[in-house]
């Protein structure tokens, strides 16, 4: 076999390997994109769920928002309200899934941001006809935290001024207080 033929064969083999590599890369990228689209499905807003409740009734939905209020335990289950900024929806979940909920939103705290996947109920027979979601999966997106509320400067100044006025009035009342005579 001649040197020229050998080089042509090696080049052809190299091109085939390169083409196979590109195909594998394309397949890997396609699978990665498909996996990402499955992992990060679009959440449904509370407004959409409430407005079209009959359409979503009994279907599995994904809903995202901040845990607010108190966690209400009921035997092996619990209620958690999740607010997406427009409305809050009650989530019914197993107590074992409560490990994802460390902070609930209030004046002092920002609640955990959660993504809930579960069955939406327009009028849940189990819960007296209430609209709710029975959670199957809970994913914590962001942990909650304590909030700091600073006293605005104008309020601090007002406290200082009013304290001064109160002190002046107290001194004046002590000075002008008539002395009592003994009988």
> What digits encode the pLDDT tens for the residues 143-165?
999 999 888 999 999 999 999 99
DSSP state of 65: E
**Predicted TM-score of the model (pTM):** 0.63
Instruction: Tell which CATH classification among 1.10.3720.10, 3.20.20.370, 2.40.50.140, 3.90.1150.10 matches the domain 46-146.
Output: 2.40.50.140
pLDDT at 75: 94
Angle at 137 between CA 112 and CA 69, to 5 degrees: 35
- Residue 43 confidence (pLDDT): 86
Instruction: Give CA–CA dist 130/119, Å, rounded.
Output: 13
φ/ψ (deg, to 5) at 46: -65, -35
Between residues 147 and 4, the one the model is more confident about: 147
For 141, other C-beta atoms within 10 Å of its C-beta total: 13
* Cα–Cα distances in angstroms (integers) from residue 36 to residues 30, 40, 63, 108, in the given order: 10, 6, 18, 35
pLDDT digits (tens, 9 = 90+) for 5-24: 666 665 666 556 565 656 65
**pLDDT per residue over 35-87, tens digit each?**
544 444 578 999 999 999 999 999 999 999 999 999 999 999 999 999 999 99
- Write the pLDDT tens digit of every residue in 73-116: 999 999 999 999 999 999 999 999 998 899 999 999 999 999 99
Q: What are phi and psi of 3, to 5 degrees?
A: -65, -35
Angle at 153 between CA 148 and CA 155, to 5 degrees: 95
């Amino acid at each position: 076999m001649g040197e020229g033929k050998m080089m042509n064969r090696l080049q052809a083999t190299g091109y085939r390997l390169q083409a196979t590599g590109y195909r594998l890369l394309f397949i890997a990228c396609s699978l990665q994109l498909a996996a990402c689209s499955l992992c990060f499905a679009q959440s449904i807003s509370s407004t959409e769920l409430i407005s079209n409740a009959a359409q979503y009734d009994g279907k599995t939905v994904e809903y995202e928002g901040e845990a607010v209020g108190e966690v209400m335990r009921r035997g092996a289950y619990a209620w958690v309200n999740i607010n997406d900024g427009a409305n809050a929806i009650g989530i019914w979940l197993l107590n074992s899934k409560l490990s994802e909920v460390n902070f609930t939103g209030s004046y002092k705290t920002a609640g955990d941001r959660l993504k809930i996947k579960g069955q939406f109920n327009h009028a849940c027979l189990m819960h007296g006809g209430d609209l709710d979601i029975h959670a199957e999966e809970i994913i914590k997106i962001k942990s909650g935290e304590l909030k700091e509320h600073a006293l605005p400067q104008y309020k601090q100044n007002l406290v200082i001024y009013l304290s001064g006025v109160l002190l002046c009035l107290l001194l004046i009342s002590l000075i002008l207080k008539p002395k009592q005579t003994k009988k």
